Amino acid sequence: MNPVECSYRFRFYPTTQQTDLLNRTFGCVRVIYNRARTLREAAWKERKERCGFTQTNAMLTALKKQPEFVWLNEVSSVPLQQCLRHLEAAYQRFFHKRARYPQFRRKDSRQSAEFTKSGFTYRNGMLTLAKMKEPLAVVWSRVLPGEPSTVTVIREPDGRWYVACRVTASIKPLSGGSAVGIDLGLTNLAVLSTGEKIANPRHLSKRQKRLVREQRRLAHKQKGSRNWTKAKLKQARAHAAVRHARQDFLHKLSRRLINENQVIAVETLSVEGMLRTKRHSRAIADASWGELLRQLNYKAAWYGRTLVQISRFYPSTKTCSACGATGHILTLADRAWVCPHCGAHHDRDHNAAQNILAAGLAVTACGGDVSPGVPRHPGQSSVKQELMP
């Protein structure tokens, strides 16, 4: 059994008093986060001093003693301190070039507040937050494997309330299974080395008409009016429908691939670079290749599977999976081709998936990375070959 930290998300329905308290908590968290970010930025620009969690926490203590900020004492202090830790983590990710510069928190976006063990009680399936007299009406769709270590209350832009519980669960590794190579694309979201083609559901394209209609109606409303607020809520629900459908599909697909295969070979994609291509950027974002690879990565670690990512410059499309000859000239319109060396007939995506599997098995057996069969020329693009004009 592998002990792993995972998060379980449930929907809940707060009462009027709970809604008021949570909204005030979100406002306090937002004020403290933005003030701490301003303090850190001013300290560096004016005095070239580094300001960390210790300094911002002292700022919070002094702020709560001022008469004009006495309302900060009406909510739990736990989420206020946690937002300062989140700001520190955001700066660390920026310093290590893993994320962009921390932004201010907005009032009209997704709101969240994190509670540690000192800020909530969990007994007999009842979750009660600090400063609350009644437990939250949580819809427990599954049983928690243990007591939560942290609880995050979330209010989405569509008006729905969620609670995310982080727990330590014991997951039994899976045994058995075969090996598979996966070639990602747009016409088919994934083509497996077994020949199976998984169609691209195109969640955004299917709901694009509704999104356009709601965005047009929102643009015609006076900003800040009651009708504008109603139209914005409808727009947020239209976006949530796309997001939920996409997440549900990707979770089911990734779990199925993990259950059936011991070794999964995929190509390393520069999704950020491919999104710069204006012609296919919307379709690439709708396919969510990066999210699929992320789910395969952590689920493979949970269940004892092997996920191999080969080099993005490996010529999987232009290599014959039968004889190994490479360097064939193919255009985007060539969905099927015949190898001039051995005469083998190939489906473009199936052949690429077979080559990815072979490269992944080579990495598993020998270790290291897979170098491309043809040299990379200076200035060669990192864009997926199927998307190049």
The set of catalytic residues is: 183, 267, 349
Both tokens assigned to 1:
């059994």
Side chain identity at 357, as an amino acid letter? L
DSSP 183: E
Q: How far, CA to CA in Å, does 256 sit from each of 261, 296, 354? A: 9, 10, 19
DSSP, res 68: G
CA–CA separation, 351 and 358 (whole Å): 11
Residue closest to 159 by CA, chosen among 243, 230, 103: 230
* Spatial CB neighbours of 63, under 8 Å, sequence gap ≥ 6: 32, 35, 69, 72
The two beta strands, 120-123 and 126-129, are antiparallel
Q: How far apart are CA 74 and CA 95, in angstroms?
A: 35
Q: Residue 290: how many CB atoms within 10 A of its CB?
A: 16
Instruction: With CA atoms as reference, report the closest residue to 186 among 196, 170, 174, 198.
Output: 198
Asked whether 36 and 155 are in contact (CB, 8 A), the reply is no
Angle between helices 77-95 and 16-47 (to 10 degrees): 40
For residues 184 and 144, is the Cβ–Cβ distance under 8 A? Answer: no
Q: Quick check: 103 and 34 in contact, CB under 8 A?
A: no
